[in-house]
Amino acid sequence: MPPVRVLIVDDSAVVRKLLSEGLAKEPDIEVVGTAPDPYVAREKIVSLKPDVITLDIEMPRMDGLTFLRKLMAHYPLPVIIVSSLTQEGGEMAMEALEAGAVEVMCKPGGSFSVGDMTLQLADKIRAAARVNVKARAEVATRRRAAAPPKTLSLTKTTNKVIAIGASTGGTEAILEVVRRFPPSIAGIVIVQHMPAKFTTSFAKRLDSLCQIRVKEAADGDSVIPGTALLAPGNFHMMMRRSGARYYVNVRKGPLVWHQRPAVDVLFNSVAAYGGANAIGVLLTGMGKDGAEGLLKMRQAGARTIAQDERTSVVFGMPKEAIALGAAEKVLPLDKIAEAIIEML
């Protein structure tokens, strides 16, 4: 396979140099060019034809978000947002994911060393190169065109739990599912591969767009009807049970499948404590995280769903789950919420 061709777009010469040097160590990735702003980037995209673009948000002459929207409308390419770890940057990153970006990353510094960051960026570039850009665009177009989702009837329940896991492309996929849930839906626990602080913005975005309450999980939070708990970035989340009460533990721990939070950590705990009272859903993402956990859930009596290939941005995690026999149902994204409610 030829190397993945990458264009780095950032107004900081230091960041451009650090990312270029870090990615140069990866034999299957080639940095074909850099650009200090979207106007230079536009010309280099045409001449260099990169496979993937890394894009800063805050830049002179044209901000990255405006450029991203123009790019997706006229020349769609996989885009990874490389932003700072500020609350404002996190909120803008959420807008970028809605506009079509496939991943968000933090710039070197703060809690990330340059080496750690470029290793993670390299993995995300490999995933982005495999992204089904058409499927992602279809999801965004369908949601914009759709009327507000109708409330689906559901008898209120207190002893059920829904566990959802996703990675690349997952922010929009999770929204597509969760926004269809009625306020009386069973308690929900979610793992999305995402850096620390960005999960705060993602939870707020979901909360503002859904009928249910969505919050970033804190240690000891109860899993209750009408509420979704999102695992915070850089922390694993596990579900536990005390009598009839489900709750979550949020802990540091070793990376699982190179991830923290990891879907398998959550799913394994839901299999142990939720058993047949649980529904597991594995959405779009690269790699294997969640496949073995979904199988354990099914073996424990849970109902299980995997997203299909056509609507997955990256058909990695669902594919692995299907191969293991972990998925009771394989469904397109727009049918998953309805299936969950029928299972409940």
Domain spans of the chain, in order of start = 4-129, 161-343
Q: Could you give the dihedral angle defined by the CA atoms of residues 216, 218, 220 and 224, in that order, rounded to the nearest 10 degrees? A: -10
Same fold, 4-129 and 161-343: yes
Determine the Cα–Cα distance for residues 318 and 310; give it in Å rounded to an integer.
Answer: 11
Determine the Cα–Cα distance for residues 193 and 317; give it in Å rounded to an integer.
Answer: 12
* Lookup: tokens for 271: 């299999």
Please report the pLDDT score of residue 69 as a whole number. Answer: 87
Confirm whether 201 is a catalytic residue: no
Write the class of the CATH domain 4-129.
alpha beta
The pTM assigned to this predicted structure is 0.77
Please report the pLDDT score of residue 64 as a whole number. Answer: 84
Please report the pLDDT score of residue 146 as a whole number. Answer: 55
Please report the pLDDT score of residue 139 as a whole number. Answer: 63
Identify the active-site residue in 37, 56, 193, 201. Answer: 193
Write the class of the CATH domain 161-343.
alpha beta
Please report the pLDDT score of residue 155 as a whole number. Answer: 35
* Lookup: tokens for 243: 């009598």
How far from each other are the two terminal CA atoms of the chain, in whole angstroms?
45
Nearest to 108 by CA among 170, 54, 168, 40: 54
Identify the active-site residue in 10, 56, 167, 312. Answer: 167
Please report the pLDDT score of residue 197 as a whole number. Answer: 80
Identify the active-site residue in 51, 56, 221, 289. Answer: 289
Confirm whether 74 is a catalytic residue: no
Confirm whether 111 is a catalytic residue: no
- Give per-10-residue mean pLDDT for the chain (344 aa): 93 90 94 94 95 87 85 89 64 79 76 72 90 69 54 47 95 94 94 89 93 95 94 95 86 92 96 93 95 96 96 94 96 95 92
126, burial (CB in 10 Å: exposed 0-12, middle 13-18, buried 19+): middle
* Lookup: tokens for 191: 């793992």
